[in-house]
Structure 1
Amino acid sequence: MSLRRTESFGYVINYLGRLFARALERRIQRYGLHPGQFPALLALWEREGISQAELCRLVQVEQPTMANTLNRMERDSLIRREPDPQDRRRALVFLTERARALEVEVTAEARGVNAVAIGSLTPEERAELLRLLNKMTGNLEREMGL
């Protein structure tokens, strides 16, 4: 028996993720941001002064991808890198004033995308969906040893 796209959790969630990314891109491009930068910004808004390796672990992207993202973010005056005082071989990533100033507006745009996506769900459905998605995430993280 074949697997229909609409019956595949992986396919539906991946497609939904692409739709989220495209909707977010439309909203944040006026700020000079790209969706690929958003996970790094979210992590750095929570805690800056971390290494590239730590940032990779937090947002679950490979080192080469993160290196390219950070290079672009540095070029766009969103981050700066400073030598780690404990280990001069690695750099710590910090936000610039420009990136800090964007946090409120850009996260409001992301909340707007979320609001559109869950707009027809009841509060109970929203809570249950989030609970189930987090449960699925935990299952796959355990499977992968994360």
Structure 2
Amino acid sequence: MTDDTFDRTRSAGYLANHMARLFAQRLHERIRPLGLAPAQFMTLLELWEEDGLTQRDLFERLDVEQATMANTLARMERDGLIERRAHATDARARTVHLTDRARDLRGPAQAAAREVNAMALGHLNGDDLDRFVSTMRSAVERLKAGEER
């Protein structure tokens, strides 16, 4: 006879989801004083790396729905974090650019994220941390690709 009980304490999916929610909560606590929400922070991470992306670039990179990205960008524009400009070669598209305010938030916001990472994973030595992050990255890539094994 097999035990069909679901043990959430041994479920990678359950634990990853729980961990992600806790990471988001702790990050939000630290970036709220900067006037940021987690979705804005994730968008800023992409724009700090490559300013001038399109809305399509952003929702594809962040794996969010187009409507969610549109709402996030509208809030960011309202909050003075981004400005949208006509695309140089595509009349239908607009590019998203950081404002000086958003560029100034990079250091403090990334420091807040490092604090949350240290809170959660600071007990791991370098090799264990590298393995953990590598395993997470692999799982993300496999899920994006739709692989089953």
TM-score (ref. length: structure 1): 0.95
Query: In the alignment, residue 46 of structure 2 is paired with which amino acid?
Result: A
State the partner residue of 1:143.
146
Identify which of 91, 94, 97 aligns with 1:88: 91
State the partner residue of 1:5.
8
State the partner residue of 2:127.
124
1:142 shift after superposition: 1.8
Count of aligned residue pairs for this structure pair: 144
CA distance in 2, matches of 1:68, 1:90: 16
Q: Deviations over 1:100-142 (max 9, x none)?
A: 0000111011011001111211222111101111111122122
Q: Deviations over 1:48-87 (max 9, x none)?
A: 1111001111111110000000000000000000011211
Query: In the alignment, residue 38 of structure 1 is paired with which amino acid?
Result: F
Identify which of 45, 48, 51 aligns with 1:48: 51
Identify which of 62, 67, 75 aligns with 1:72: 75
Q: Percent identity over the alignment? A: 43
CA distance in 2, matches of 1:122, 1:87: 48
Please say which structure displays the higher CA radius of gyration: 2
Partner SS, residue 77 of structure 1? coil
CA distance in 2, matches of 1:85, 1:112: 39
Query: Is 1:110 paired with 2:104?
Result: no
Q: Over the residues paired in the alignment, what is the CA RMSD in angstroms?
A: 1.0
Query: In the alignment, residue 110 of structure 2 is paired with which amino acid?
Result: T
CA distance in 1, matches of 2:145, 2:30: 34
CA distance in 2, matches of 1:3, 1:62: 30
1:30 shift after superposition: 0.4
Q: Structure 2: which 5+ residue stretches go unaligned?
A: none
